Amino acid sequence: MKISTKGRYGLTIMIALARHYGDTPLPLKTIAQNYELSEHYLEQLIAPLRNAGLVKSVRGAKGGYLLTKDPKMITAADIIRTLEGPIRPVEEMDDEEPAKRELWKRIRDAVKDVLETTTLQDLTEYDDNNYQEEHMFYI
């Protein structure tokens, strides 16, 4: 399963907002600058997050975005499902032979478990030094 830039950048937005939880609204421009991302692209991602009730906007000179819930109450699955759709490693699993269907189900369940048990709070507490060491991995 590959998470697209929608899911990755959506997580970036949400982690940034979680780090500012309880503070003033955070403008997308600030997030875009801090992470060297396209503000225009982040604007496209924030709409579904707002429609899903995960963030709210605040207008005005000191406006921006805020989480609607405590970071402990928002999971990575909430964000990924909102931006990527259902979590599944392959399309049309029911058409597969039983052995392969079982493998795909186990992979799906393992990914879902990780995403559903990882909160935004968990992600904000992750040590950035570990990121440098574990930056990318492939199976």
Which one-letter amino acid corresponds to residue 27? P
Q: Which sign does the torsion angle of CA 30, 34, 35, 37 carry?
A: positive
CB 56 within 8 A of CB 68: yes
Q: What is the CA radius of gyration of the chain?
A: 17
| pLDDT score of 16 | 95
Rounded Cα–Cα distance for residues 53 and 48 (Å) = 9
- The pLDDT of residue 133 is above 90: no
* 47 vs 3, residue with greater confidence: 47
Domains and CATH numbers, the chain: 5-134 (1.10.10.10)
CB 64 within 8 A of CB 26: yes
Rounded Cα–Cα distance for residues 137 and 99 (Å) = 27
Q: Express each pLDDT in 79-131 by its tens digit.
A: 999 999 987 777 766 677 889 888 888 998 999 999 999 999 999 987 554 55
| pLDDT score of 139 | 44
Q: Express each pLDDT in 9-45 by its tens digit.
A: 999 999 999 999 999 999 999 999 999 999 999 999 9
- The pLDDT of residue 138 is above 60: no
pTM: 0.85
